[in-house]
Structures are given as structure tokens and as C-alpha cells.
Chains A and B, each alone.
Chain A
């Protein structure tokens, strides 16, 4: 097991350096000189340009610059935003809980609906329920989520007036952020209605972001279940007279879960991509919206740092899933 973990970690390290190299390279190939961009409309004198160039280290050899960047990254120094002048690291971790909360809720939505749907479809294979469900899943899988978001806003916010259109909580409530998770903070604040307001703001974005993972999980669960259900030990379990619920739930699902967990883990990348769209539409103050705004503002250090941190986050999740996978599936570990 330790050997397996180390071998996984060994592939993580070069990928990590590659990711730093790519995010480092971006700022050098982006159009426009970053210093000119920083100076804005007013422009600046040649002396001041040289001064700033030296301050940011742009005048040194490229390899030296990369080395400095890398040592900075390893110490948690990603430079500071051109616009807010705050460290990128601090900005990222101030906004990250918002994205994490949204992504977790989207995932809960996807798993809670997707798993049972896939199981029921597999057990009723070929019947009307299975066919309807799988068609729906394919529609969900093909959904342009930015349009889906607009449709849900038209129906639930516009016509029915049930949910708010933007933000994380109603402006009526104010309290200090303790965890950064609005659901927890609003509960801790003890203010009446704050928690419900947070839930209300979270519902539509979570559905939007969770739609594609939901479709993927339902499809994957169904095909994994179908594979397991044709195994001999399932027939044995049935022959022994176990109730269908026990056979499907206890024996089949437990083994079918293995590939499903991988799919859940791999969805994290999709979720981070989807977060850009979802957060932009719902004005959700998270990492996705922050990245898009920074791209439009040409705030290079933020784009660079955000890109790196998001990639590293996705890599860590994938590594965890890989390790978990080896843990629950000895066959992989021994290979």
C-alpha cells in the first residue's frame, strides 16, 4: 500500500513542476507588456519603466525569473494583484470557500439523485423507467449549463419568485465570516432566517453546477451495476434466497461503487470549469468569477496564481481519489 502511494506521489511531483512552468510561461506570452498594462492610460517614463521592471524582476534572465517564481510558489508567495494590490494567495483563500461550498452542494445534489437513479435503472433494465431515465441523463449530459441557468432563473426567480438571482445571502443579514461557508456561518450567527436565505441562494447554482455530474453519475452507476449484476456471486446470493434489496444494495452496489467513486473524483475538474460559468451568471463571489474578472482586467498575477492553485487543487483531489481507489480495490494496488 505504501509503495502504491509513493508511486502515485512520484507522478504527482513532475506534473506539479510542469503546471508551475505552464502558469509561469503564461505571463510571459500574454499580449501586452504587463508593466505597461499596470501603468494604465497615463503611461510612464522610461526611468519609471526600468524601475518597475527591476522591482518585478522582469529584467533578469528567464531561468532566474522562473527559479524565483518557483521558490515563491513553494513558500506560498504568488505575487500580488495589479488591481487590488493584495497578495494573490490571500485573495484566493478568501474566495475559495465560496466555490468549495457551491461545488460540494452541487456534488451532494448529483450523488443523492444520481446513485439511486442509476441503481433503479439497472435493476429495471430495459423497462420504461430505465429508458426514460437514461434519455433524461443524456439530455442532462448534453446541457449547455449557462443556458440551463438562465432557464431556471426565468422560471424560479422570474415567474415564481422563489429564489434570488444573485449573491450568497440576502443583504439584510450581516455577520463575520468564521469558516467562509455561508451555510455554517449563517447558522452560527444565530440570526433568524439567515440560514434559510443562504440555502435559497445556493439552490439554483447547485442544481446548475450539479447537472452534468448528476447525468454522468447516473449513467456510470447504471453501467457499473449492470456489470456487477451479471456476476456469479450475485446469482449465488439470489439462489441463497436473499431479498432483492439485500442483493442489490449490499452485494451489488458495494462493488459497483468503485468505478463510480472514480467518476466522482474526476468530476472535480469539470466542476471547477463549470464554476466559472455558474458563478458568473449568479454573481457568486467565488474563484471562477474572480478568474474571469481578472482575465478581463488583465490582472496577470491573479490569472497566473489562480490557474496554478486551481490546477494543484484538482491534482490533489485526483491523487486522493487514486489512493482511495487503490485502498478499496486491492486488484489495482497489486499491479
Chain B
């Protein structure tokens, strides 16, 4: 009789380690809620986010004096329902995160792979260009890029993706160089695998762990940076219910109406915190070197 030992599936092994980290599981749950809110914003929001109720300007949250349960978190200076705006804001943040990570990661991974496989001079040129981009503080560079492209959410996303992709390039290149000298790559090469096959089929899958972790981190950074640009008037433009833009609009009311300032910030903080918790868990689960630290 033959007994076979089956290796547990990769996903199951990952989940086993991920589950051990309580913070990561909480982060993941919050993130799932965030994504659901973003998807079903139209169904969940009690009001239209841009509808102005002129009789209800700056109404405080329902539980405080003067509040009204038809506006659970109160209204903003133009009489718009804060809760509905926050719910719709989740959509913009999720969108920013997905677009920025997709663009920055795919471009960054491609350049990183090319750099890792390129002859020495090519590698040096690519890495010097990345050094140049990284020499600028990222928010400042994004700000100037948006100034060039014109302030809008789309341009903010492009700018953030541009300043984030060097991180993917560096990460991919470092793991590629590490993997390239391994036996399995040499054997694939001897077996006649072409350069593209070596890059994408042989090496890339083994470099993905740190890239996935970076993906989570840059998702949260993208949300923060987009909100910061919105706050500075260089991101989404009013009346878009983007969280950072909402904060900018609320700024002059900070001493009169605490809720218009507090809630958008809490929304940003909770989302970013959840993603970072998740990122920590991902790192622990995917990176065997750090697993027991």
C-alpha cells in the first residue's frame, strides 16, 4: 500500500498563520465591511450625498442636543447628511486604493523584473532613476505633479501611483536578484526557458510575498495621500464627498461644529488602521523569516 503525504495548500497554510494574529483578523473584518460599504453605498446611504437640506444646516449628531434621527451623524454647513457623505466617501477611498495599487504595482513589478534581469548598466540606470524619484518627499512630488496635471481625483491618483512605484521596483529587483542564482532558475534556463518565461513564470511567483505586503501598505498610504491632497485642495474637488475634501470644507467650522471635523477623520483613521493591521498580519504569515518575531 502506498501512503502519500499531501502538502497543505498554500492558501490554507497562509490562513493558518494569518488567523493566529488577532489584530490582522480584526483588520481584515473591518476592511471587508469597508469594501461592502463602498460597493453598496447607494443602498446604505439614507440621503443623497449632495442633497442640501436648507432647513437643517449644521445639525449636530442625533444623540446630542438639537440632533435629529433622520440625520444620524448630523449635517454639514450646507445641510448635507454627514453619514451619507461618509458612506459615499468610502467609495472614493476604495477606488483610490485599488487604482493606485494596481497601477503602481504592475508598472513597478515590470520595471523591477527588467532591472533584475537587465545587464549591469541597464540595472544601474533604472535604479538611479528610481533613486531620483525617491529623493523627493513623496507628498511634495505628488503635489507638484497634481499642480502640473490640474487638481482632480484622477490626477491625484496618477501622481500618487507615480511616487509609489519606485518602492515596488526596488522590492521586486531585490527579490529577483536573490532568486536568480538559485538552482531552480538555472535548471529552468538549462531546460531552455526563454527570458520572458524565466521572468514571469519561474521567478516572479517566488518574489510575490514581499510585494503583497507592500501592496497592503501602499493601499493605506494611497488613501492617506489622496485625503491629504484633497485636504490641501489638490485632490477631489467639492462637492465630491471625498473624506479629505470634506475635512477641508469643514475646517473653518472646527470650533463651532466638532462633528463635521471629527467623523471624516475617524473614517480615514479606521480604514487606514484596518489595512495596516492586515498588512502586519500578511507580513507575519507570508514572510517565514519574521514568522516568530
Residues of A within 8 A of B (CB): 11, 14-15, 18-19, 22, 26, 29-31, 135, 138-139, 141-144, 146-148, 150-151, 153-154, 158, 223, 226-227, 269-270, 272-274, 276-277, 280, 291-292, 295-296, 303, 307, 310-311, 314-315, 318
Contacts and interface: CB of A to CB of B under 8 A. Distances in A.
B13 interface: no
A36 B268 CA distance: 40
Interface string B251-282: 10011001001101100110011001100100
Interface of B: 23, 128-129, 131-132, 135-141, 143-144, 147-148, 150, 220, 224, 227-228, 231-234, 244, 247, 251, 254-255, 258, 261-262, 264-265, 268-269, 272-273, 276-277, 280, 293
Given A15-B132, A144-B228, A295 B220 contact: no
B138 A29 contact: no
Given A144-B227, A147-B261, A272-B140, A30 B276 contact: no
A143 to B, nearest CB: 6
Closest 8 CB pairs of A and B: A147-B265, A273-B139, A18-B132, A273-B137, A142-B272, A142-B273, A272-B137, A269-B137
Contacts of B224: 142, 144
B269 A144 contact: yes
B148 A15 contact: no
A151 B265 contact: yes
A151 B262 contact: yes
A158 B233 CA distance: 24
Given A15-B132, A269-B138, A146 B277 contact: no
Nearest to B149: A31
Contact of A138 (B140, B247, B254, B280): B280
A177 B251 CA distance: 32
B139 A274 contact: yes
Contacts of B280: 138
Contacts of B147: 30, 295, 303
User: What's the dominant secondary structure at chain A's contact region?
Assistant: helix
B136 A147 contact: no
Consensus secondary structure, chain B interface: helix
Contact of A154 (B135, B141, B254): B254
Nearest to A274: B139
Contact of B232 (A138, A223, A269, A292): A292
Nearest to B142: A273
B143 A276 contact: yes
B26 to A, nearest CB: 11
Contacts of A22: 132, 136
A142 B276 contact: yes
A142 B220 contact: yes
Contacts of B136: 19, 22, 269, 307, 310-311, 314
Contacts of A277: 139, 228, 231-232
A273 B128 contact: no
Contacts of B262: 151
A138 B135 contact: no
A18 B129 contact: yes
B139 A147 contact: no
A199 B129 CA distance: 41
Contact of A31 (B148, B232, B244): B148
A303 B144 contact: yes
Nearest to B255: A158
Contacts of B272: 142, 144
